[in-house]
Structure 1
Amino acid sequence: MLSNILANLRTNIGNNHNKRLRKLENKIPAVIYVKHKNSLLISLDHNIIYYTLKKNKSYETPINIKINDEIHTVNIKNIQYHQYKQIILHIDFMYI
């Protein structure tokens, strides 16, 4: 089952901006790696992606990410979790 998730492109990069995203906006930074093209830097709503992953229970399930009226079908490549809190710090996606 494909899940549909809304995302925003992010232009600011770096540790301070990513911390601000997580704390103030409850979003997580993510990257979509595309073969032979530039990667897409995006931000996702933490609660939506957290519960979507919890519901699917498989990281191999494709996910549809909608960015500016474009739908990208991706697989999860890597997820970074906080050491002891139940929060996601960063996700890497691979474009299908």
Structure 2
Amino acid sequence: MATTHEIKVERRTDEGKGASRRLRHAAKIPAIVYGGELKPVSIQIDHEAIWLASQHEWFYSSILDLSLGGDVQKVLLRDMQRHPFKQQIMHLDFQRVNENEALRTAVPLHFLNEDKSPAGKSAEVVVTHELNEVVIECLPQDLPEYIEIDLSELAVGDIVHLSDLKLPNGVSIPELKLGKEHDLAVVIAKHGKEEAESADAPAAAEVPASKVTKKDQK
């Protein structure tokens, strides 16, 4: 079962850009909670607490307990707006979670034992992580904070696909239901020479505009 984390919030009564600016000057973050059978609710949260939480991976992939004066609602973070250059969170969107309904969300991938693998030990092999997260579907009680991939046996030429991931009970990858062409590569171990040749491959030659004939323009 996934770990939940409590975040204290307050109800927000003032709306509009001016009210949001005043909140931010007071070190608060305007936010909204929506979804389920309840109406959307505008809330405000202490910026420092959220800023600290945002430094952790779990904040983006775990079920959060929003506590409003003792009333707790289970939610997932769905959107975060950051200031373009300041270390400031501008707005947050949370979606309510129904414990009896499957949810779909992205969770991070943790790559284990790569340095101990035959590919990882070889200076001539380049290991690339094609994906760093994966979209999964499960009931809230089965939501993992991350999915581990053991690469201890990874050798040159190996490709780890989505279908190779060992998922916790009750967890599935919706992408795999769409067909074999959606079984994406997650990790690839290539010989360094192959990687270099691929990078150095010449692009298709472009025909200069001056070489286009009248026949070509028809």
Q: Same fold (TM over 0.5)?
A: yes
Higher relative contact order (CA 8 A, sep 6+): 1
Closer, same or farther: CA 56–17 of 1 in aligned 2, 3 Å: same
Partner of 1:9: 11
Query: Displacement of 1:36 after TM fit?
Result: 3.5
Deviation at residue 56 of structure 1 after TM alignment: 3.0
1:82 aligns with 2:83: yes
Q: Letter of the aligned partner of 2:83 in structure 1?
A: H
CA displacement, residues 24-70 of structure 1 (integer Å, 9 cap, x when unaligned) = x2000000012243101100000101111212355121111100210
Identity of aligned residues (%): 27
Whose helix fraction is larger, Structure 1's or Structure 2's?
2
Q: TM-score, normalised by structure 1?
A: 0.91
Unaligned runs of 5+ in 2: 98-218
Q: How many corresponding residue pairs?
A: 95
- CA deviation after TM superposition for structure 1 residue 14, in Å: 0.5
* Matched letter for residue 17 of structure 2: N
Deviation at 1:2, TM superposition (A): 1.7
Q: Which moved more, 1:57-66 or 1:40-49?
A: 57-66
Give the TM-score, by structure 2 length. Answer: 0.42
- Could you say what secondary structure the match of 2:86 adopts? coil
Structure 1 counterpart SS, 2:10: strand
Larger Rg: 2
Structure with greater strand share of residues: 1
Q: Distance in 1 between matches of 2:58 and 2:96?
A: 20
**RMSD over equivalenced CA pairs, Å:** 1.3
List structure 1 runs of 4+ shifted beyond 3 angstroms.
none
